[in-house]
Amino acid sequence: MERISWDQYFMAQSHLLALRSTCTRLMVGATIVRDKRIIAGGYNGSVSGSVHCIDEGCYIVDNHCVRTVHAEANALLQCAKFGVATEGADMYVTHFPCLQCTKLIIQSGLKNIYYATDYRNDPFAEQLFKETGVKTKQVPLTSLAVDFQHEAKEAYVDKLLHHLSDTLAPEDYEKLVKEGEHLFNFTKK
């Protein structure tokens, strides 16, 4: 069995954190890592003790929900709250940081930002990252499912395809093979 890469591991953690989001507009998660160890995590949601968007709706001002604290800010605030240094650490975040979070990231001393998805990438945020030497890299999450039966399922589909190869027209068979490769991320033997 091949282990997932560190980038995929930490990005998966950020996507898992995003599942805790209370924002109805976009679910975002962020993980701060130093020396291949998670030091903090955050998701976008309301201030502790306040109402949540999922309960009372978003509070929109100038097309932004002002009820929520962004995932990146929550992760950084967790470090501040518990006295954990962020200098030289990395952040994995599900979406490219907004301009305000970009400034927080830079000021906190993070060195590398890995994000899964472009999201309204602000040109000034990109410029600030470049000017300050904070590296950004897109790292799409390629797999998040935890399936302890995936090898058996792939073998079963492969066996089914083998049996169908003699009964289907070649073009229909190839279509099924391509769909299986796409769905199960495997190559027909």
For 77, counting Cβ atoms within 10 Å of its Cβ (0-12 exposed, 13-18 middle, 19+ buried), the class is: middle
Active site residue 72: yes
Token pair belonging to 19: 């599942």
Catalytic-labelled residue, pool 2, 72, 171, 174? 72
- Contact at 8 Å (CB) between 32 and 39? yes
Tell me the H-state helices in the chain: 6-18, 53-56, 71-82, 99-107, 123-132, 150-164, 170-184
Residues 6+ apart with CB under 8 A from 69: 44, 45, 46, 47, 77
Contact 130, 149 (CB under 8 A): no
**Radius of gyration of the CA atoms of the chain, in A:** 21
Q: What are phi and psi of 18, to 5 degrees?
A: -60, -25
Are the beta carbons of 46 and 53 closer than 8 angstroms? yes
Please identify every residue annotated as catalytic: 72
